[in-house]
Amino acid sequence: MASSRLEKIGTIYTRVNGLLKSGAMKPKDKPLWYDIYEAFPPKYEPNYDRPVVNKNIPQILYHEDVIRAKFYKKYHSPGTIHLSEYKSRPSICQVFITEYQKLQADKCVAEEELMEKAALALEAHGIYLDPSRAPPKVEPVVEEKVEAASMTRPLREQVKLADIFKESQEEQKD
């Protein structure tokens, strides 16, 4: 049995079982799945000649999936999603879906305007899906940062490169 590796001859279970019985495989080397397979054998033996069962697999499509598809089609991917923080901080798409469903439940907004109204509702939360609608970012002046940093350092740490090169040039002349 161990000489044939053809799947038509036997299953992997029968081959491992034969190796264990003949002593070619030690009991400590048996695979992890072996004991589980013996405890819970399959209903039908997985043989090569077993006929394939054709089952009709139903499509599972939730209402949120349609909204999510529209969101990604219009706004693309708004950034990375950290799965470790997903429960504490849902993704932008999930926040969008929640707002969309709230507006849809109110039935005061037409179906065609739901996407735009949901995007505007996100802007109230500080999430801008359209970068052109985002407020301009105000960055502090770089010079102020440098001056503040130099004032906090002691004078001995404020070294100028010109002074260093002057000293090294004077040493080379001597």
Q: What is the mean pLDDT of each run of 10 residues along the chain (174 residues)?
A: 62 91 94 95 82 88 91 83 80 88 87 85 82 72 55 61 71 68
Looking at the structure, tell me whether residues 46 and 73 fall in a common domain.
Answer: no
The CA-atom distances, in angstroms, between 23 and each of 19, 119, 163 are 6, 68, 81
Q: What is the pLDDT of residue 56?
A: 92
Backbone φ and ψ of 113, nearest 5°: -95, 0
Rounded CA-CA distance 123/50 in Å is 58
Task: List, as one string, the DSSP characters of 131-162.
Answer: GGGSPPPP---HHHHHHHHHHHS-GGG---HH
How many separate domains does the chain show?
2
Q: Quick check: pTM over 0.85?
A: no
Q: What is the pLDDT of residue 30?
A: 94
Looking at the structure, tell me whether residues 95 and 128 fall in a common domain.
Answer: yes
Name residue 109's amino acid.
V
Whether the CB-CB separation of 158 and 150 falls below 8 Å is answered with yes
* CA end-to-end span of the chain: 89
Looking at the structure, tell me whether residues 48 and 72 fall in a common domain.
Answer: no
Among 57, 82, 101, the domain-final residue is: 57
Q: What is the pLDDT of residue 118?
A: 87
Q: What is the pLDDT of residue 48?
A: 77
73 closest CA partner among 106, 102, 96, 90? 96
Q: What is the pLDDT of residue 108?
A: 82
